[in-house]
Structure 1
């Protein structure tokens, strides 16, 4: 098949596809207008998230048989139109699930133990032991919202910490185990002290975490978001932190990740969020390790090969 790669990938994907007999065009700097002009003859597209796979673009892809998404999120893809055309979709959540899980645990431990704050202070000559007294993860109840690839991998990484793990997934049943207790949403909200979000961005989940939703949790809790920033706004985070509903937050994703496009309100709320010691940020890199960069290729090529043998 003729395959066009429109985003930067680890270049191991080119020989991997060519070894399966495919003709590969690697164009990581291609613009949307160039894609629209050039896409018609291609059987496959491999993408990250630079260019929305909307109806306009997909209509130009006359011969398209599949899209390979180098990652987990599918929110920029017109799934309904793809189904109507019979275009297959492959994504590579298995390629970066371990990276996401490790990152989530690492950020939580860093927040619990004031590692960023303590390091910054010591570099300034401040030796404050009491002000950096931390919390232990051991003994806490950790909730997982969404028990797909990422949620399962996060639960696995919690083994050894001696925590109680509750998991909720609206679209799955009977996934509980000796390690993980499957619960309804109300039960999770009644018990958790830490909540880690592992759901995709959809019309259903966008802005799901309103202040009212957070108020319905029985106890103050720490929030981990390595999923999608649009699930909770800067304003809601600040209000929940001000009211003590949230004890702290670790955020690998933001409501708006393009700082230059912030609205006035977003700018004000983000600056307030950024001034807090109990909030820790990373730039959407939870699944962005050197290892996952290669593993994503392997997962995609295996799926493409299996589907078209």
Structure 2
């Protein structure tokens, strides 16, 4: 099938909005594929601004600052999909997106290397007490000493969370001669010589450096609190380049002031400024041997380009072929185009009898189904149908009238 002839809709009428200075790779991706109505804005938008901006938008691209609330989703009547150009999707109301049949994608792997490299670099800086010495040198003080500075080789790195980033940090750390322990709520196959700890307390008590790699959930909020910090190895180091709510920063500040911990690197915070230049405050400011960065763990040119290409490809595949692999809301289906057919997408509430109703209605009108696939999650069902070209318009109209239908779209 000719790729140029896939879509039955005019591409210039598909409105695409990218926020938060998403990589130009994303803009180029769609424009090179014939989509001309692509708008890119540098900053995030407030809820009120978003409600106005997404009124006629079909595809929306965001990063971590933009909050997609239920109000925003309910006002976006034409919205087909959201691309989160980052590793998480917690900034999107997934329950509402699912209920409305809006497909949500992200890029869970694209900045893995960037974060992993930086975590190792920070560990080296902290274990050598570089922040102290850097500050002294800037103040005109010569502080050449070995006291409190150590090599990474032979030290134990404790990883809380052993997913995409944690496991890659593990591999790099071992190449430096470190011992690696990890703790994860799910059973994970260790890479190299990494050892699984039985509990979080066991891990932090054994590790010279603890690095966090967990999502933001109700279970991980204040995971590292005052009580857990008492179990840390004396003089230990904490690195959090995961999520802002995971660490109790006031309790961490007390440990750093008392000397029970010797250093920390924090990139994510419970509250973060909306834009560059805004005032930022933290209880960790001004403390010795603490590195604070403005949520830039995955902010490299390579990572942003990879994310731009990855999420754009997912959005494009959904828009052109109905493929939902990697979706967090609509069930994942990936089917190649079928020659001699038109493809229709049907999203419906997941109740018994919908597929039977679809087949019955089409059969009643003598519409031949050339291909069909159904997949469901707890809330919705997603059907991809390839039907006879001559009858596809009639089929789409019939499907819109099926009870429990949320959304119907004819691709080509």
**Pair in the same fold by TM > 0.5:** yes
How far residue 231 of structure 1 moved from its aligned partner, in angstroms, is 1.6
Q: Give per-residue Cα distances to partners, 1:146-196, cap 9 Å, x unaligned.
A: 2222212222321321111112222x3232132322333244234222110
Q: 2:96 aligns with which of 81, 94, 112?
A: 81
2:174 is aligned to 159
* 1:5 and 2:18 correspond: yes
The residue that corresponds to 1:72 in the other structure is 87
SS at match of 1:158: helix
Q: Say which structure is richer in helix.
A: 1
Which of 1 and 2 has greater Rg? 2
Look up the match of 2:133.
118
The SS at the match of 2:137 is helix
TM-score, normalised by the number of residues in structure 2: 0.66
Match of 1:289 among 288, 300, 309: 300
Q: 2:238 maps to what in 1?
A: 223
Q: Alignment RMSD, CA only?
A: 2.5
Q: Output the CA distance in 2 between the equivalents of 1:215 and 1:31.
A: 41
CA distance change for structure 1 residues 286 and 174 in 2, over 3 Å: closer, same or farther? Answer: closer
State the Cα deviation string for residues 218-272 of structure 1 (Å, max 9, x = none).
655210011122222331111222444422111122333339777xxxx6x62xx
CA distance in 1, matches of 2:221, 2:176: 31
Look up the match of 1:102: 117
Which runs of 5 or more residues in structure 2 are unaligned?
1-13, 322-412
**Is residue 184 of structure 2 the alignment partner of residue 169 of structure 1?**
yes
Q: SS of 1:26's equivalent? A: strand
CA separation of 1:188/1:204 partners in 2, compared to 1, >3 Å: closer, same or farther?
same
SS of corresponding position for 2:110 = helix
TM-score, normalised to structure 1, is 0.86
Instruction: Tell me what 1:299 maps to.
Output: 310
State which drifts further: 101-110 or 19-28.
19-28
- Corresponding position of 1:62: 77
Q: 2: CA distance between counterparts of 1:152 and 1:304?
A: 28
What's 1:52 paired with? Answer: 67
| Corresponding position: 1:178 with 2:189 | no
Q: Kindly indicate whether the alpha-carbon contact (under 8 Å) linking 1:191 and 1:219 is maintained by their aligned counterparts in 2.
A: no
Q: Answer yes or no: is 1:203 the counterpart of 2:218.
A: yes
